């Protein structure tokens, strides 16, 4: 059985916080207490076992709100999430050395701050996005000033990875089948949209009657022009992130086909967000559910829970647990900051902890070392009430930005 404990917020309007782990620090608990003071939280806040301190709102939290949305809870990597699919290839059919595969993917998929030299996405993908984006930027022209070469940049970034904890992996499951798995979001324009509306919410909060326990928890109320504009923009960014992952997967398949035996994709394909907001029905009401570092886990819904560069990952099936708002963790979760990881570990540590994985092993990715993350097996043990494991994956190649 999984573990759940309840933190009762000590505030006049505090709601309970239901936590599906014992591994949580006091600073994160303090952040959760502040979130629980918001008067528009519906029922309670659910906290996943990969929980850790976040900017504005806690990573690993599921926040149901009535008639309000907190832009900082969604964050700036709007629509960040995972895409995975299984091939009908076995690990024994992969080359003995995976460097050529990794190089082929890196030539097709720009990583870090890089983007495509030419627009790669199809017009059928771009045209509807472009029309909706023009409506958004006509109302908020300031967005265009926040991204260099605005129109070209967002289009050239479809099908690109980004940096930080974003990755592309080749994995093997328990039956030795090959999986392609990737983690990315809405790139530069998603960041711009998130930043713009977070700042707008903070400015509007200065003129609104009512207590906000933290400036980063500033919100838009339903019925206001800013609320409507934010919903329009955030839904656009979430769709953009979805299309970014889909285009990236297409390019990866294109890159590896010449280097592998003929293969087909199986029906097991998943594309899911873990930083997003959408309307859902919970505890008798239609509410806005913000998942900040959590994935939806409705009954029989498939999801992806990745570990770190040197650990296992999981394909899971949701159990639809109402107390988690039908959610589960989005990964292992960091147990230390990037700065601390660079202080504690070096390149040699990274080499040792990623043995057997074809990946970057230089000092610039030490902050992504497996030891900087929680134990994925323990994280999974805490959420047996939320999901069941369908496949266990072990990466053999990892590309980081």
Which residues are annotated as catalytic? Answer: 330
127 in a labelled binding site: no
Q: Among the residues of 220-329, which ranges form H helices? A: 225-256
Instruction: Look at residue 15 and give its three-state secondary structure.
Output: coil
115 in a labelled binding site: no
Instruction: Look at residue 154 and give its three-state secondary structure.
Output: helix
309 in a labelled binding site: yes
313 in a labelled binding site: yes
Query: E-strand spans in 102-210?
Result: 167-172, 177-184
169 in a labelled binding site: yes
Residue 63, CB-side half-sphere exposure with 13 Å CA sphere? 35
Joined together, the tokens standing for residue 398 give 């990892």
244 in a labelled binding site: no
Pairing of strands 387-400, 358-359: parallel
273 in a labelled binding site: no
Asked if residues 264 and 87 have their Cβ atoms less than 8 Å apart, the reply is yes
Residue 57, CB-side half-sphere exposure with 13 Å CA sphere? 32
165 in a labelled binding site: yes
Residue 214 and residue 162: Cα distance in Å, rounded?
30
167 in a labelled binding site: yes
CB atoms within 10 A of CB 232: 14
DSSP 316-346: EEE---GGGTSEEESSS-BSS-HHHHHHH--
306 in a labelled binding site: yes
308 in a labelled binding site: yes
239 in a labelled binding site: no
330 in a labelled binding site: yes
Residue set of the binding site for GMP: 165-169, 274-275, 306-309, 313, 330-333, 400
Residue set of the binding site: 77, 165-169, 183, 274-275, 306-309, 313, 330-333, 400
Residue set of the binding site for Mn(2+): 77, 166, 183, 274
């Amino acid at each position: 059985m999984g573990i759940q404990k309840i933190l009762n917020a000590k505030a006049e309007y505090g709601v309970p916080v239901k936590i599906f782990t014992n591994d949580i620090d006091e600073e994160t608990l303090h952040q959760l207490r502040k979130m629980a003071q918001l008067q528009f939280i519906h029922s309670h806040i659910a906290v996943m076992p990969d929980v850790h301190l976040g900017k504005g709102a806690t990573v690993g939290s599921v926040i149901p709100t009535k008639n309000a949305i907190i832009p900082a809870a969604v964050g700036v990597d709007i629509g960040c999430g995972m895409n995975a699919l299984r091939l009908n290839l076995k690990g024994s059919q992969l080359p003995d050395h995976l460097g050529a595969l990794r190089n082929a993917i890196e030539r097709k998929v720009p990583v870090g701050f890089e983007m495509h030299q030419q627009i790669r996405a199809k017009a059928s993908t771009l045209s509807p996005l472009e029309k909706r984006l023009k409506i958004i930027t006509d109302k908020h022209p300031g967005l265009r000033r926040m991204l260099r070469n605005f129109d070209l940049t967002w289009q050239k970034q479809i099908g690109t990875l980004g940096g930080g904890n974003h990755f592309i992996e080749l994995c093997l499951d328990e039956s030795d089948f090959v999986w392609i798995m990737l983690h990315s979001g809405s790139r530069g324009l998603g960041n711009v949209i998130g930043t713009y509306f977070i700042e707008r919410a903070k400015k509007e909060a200065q003129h609104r009657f009512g207590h906000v326990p933290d400036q980063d928890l500033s919100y838009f109320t339903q019925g206001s022009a800013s609320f409507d504009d934010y919903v329009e923009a955030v839904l656009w960014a979430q769709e953009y992130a979805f299309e970014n992952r889909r285009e990236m997967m297409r390019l990866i398949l294109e890159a590896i086909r010449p280097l592998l035996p003929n293969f087909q994709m199986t029906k097991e394909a998943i594309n899911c967000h873990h930083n997003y907001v959408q309307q859902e029905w919970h505890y008798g009401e239609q509410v806005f559910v913000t998942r900040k570092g959590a994935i939806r886990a409705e009954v029989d819904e498939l999801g992806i829970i990745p570990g770190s560069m040197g650990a296992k990952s999981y394909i899971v099936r949701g159990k639809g647990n109402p107390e988690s708002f039908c959610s589960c963790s989005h990964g292992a979760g960091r147990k230390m900051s990037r700065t601390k990881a660079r202080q504690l570990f070096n390149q040699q540590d990274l080499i040792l902890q990623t043995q057997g994985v074809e990946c970057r092993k230089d000092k610039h990715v030490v902050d992504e070392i497996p030891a900087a993350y929680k134990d994925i097996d323990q994280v999974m043990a805490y959420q047996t009430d939320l999901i069941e494991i369908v496949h266990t994956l072990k990466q053999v190649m990892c590309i980081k930005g």
